[in-house]
Chains A and B, each alone.
Chain A
């Protein structure tokens, strides 16, 4: 199946530092989505990428759609305490339903 490998599994960083995480697959994806999930809440869409090579920003967040269409990266600049949470990459499974398959998540902890 179309599985997504997300790394790192967890990160501990100091407030103000930049963060980078990535997602890879053996399959090609035509869309990459990045979500953030807080405890007890649903995933919130951060950035959507629709074209290979696309670089998109949302405030301090920047994500890139890899040229091979098999990977994507999310960077967070100047981290703040509210960046704490689990970050998931996701992509639509080929087929009629276009349901999303998710990576296993990156748990981000920001230390003061």
Chain B
């Protein structure tokens, strides 16, 4: 299966710690998206990469959040000084040059 993969699937951390998540998109997809999803809600857009360029960031992406896609392949999302409000499912999606996005299984973050 060559779908979108994410690592880790679950992360439990203490408030104030830094965490980093990884996303490996479908290999031929040049677009990569990060979303956040809280319980009972649909996913909300965080940021978008086209190849290695980060072209758009949501207002949801505070200064504590940073994302990279250094070689236009995998991407990382780092959260610094985590807060309890950061607890959510973090989803990565990729797409070819269309609007159809394919999601990974997500990383469930719990901040204690």
Contacts and interface: CB of A to CB of B under 8 A. Distances in A.
B107 to A, nearest CB: 10
B97 to A, nearest CB: 10
A105 B99 CA distance: 20
B42 A102 contact: yes
Closest 10 CB pairs of A and B: A102-B42, A99-B45, A42-B103, A97-B56, A97-B48, A92-B99, A31-B99, A42-B106, A42-B105, A43-B103
Interface of B: 4, 6, 31, 33, 35, 40-45, 48, 55-56, 58, 89, 91, 93, 98-106, 108
A42 B108 contact: no
Interface residues of A, number: 26
A48 B43 CA distance: 17
Given A41-B106, A99-B33, A103-B42, A48 B100 contact: yes
Given A99-B33, A100-B43, A104-B41, A44 B103 contact: yes
A30 interface: yes
Interface of chain A, helix or strand or loop or mixed? loop
A93 B42 CA distance: 15
**Which of B35, B91, B99, B106 has the most A CB atoms < 10 Å from its CB?**
B99
Contacts of B4: 42
B67 to A, nearest CB: 13
Contacts of A43: 43, 91, 103
A103 B43 CA distance: 9
A96 B105 contact: no
B103 A35 contact: yes
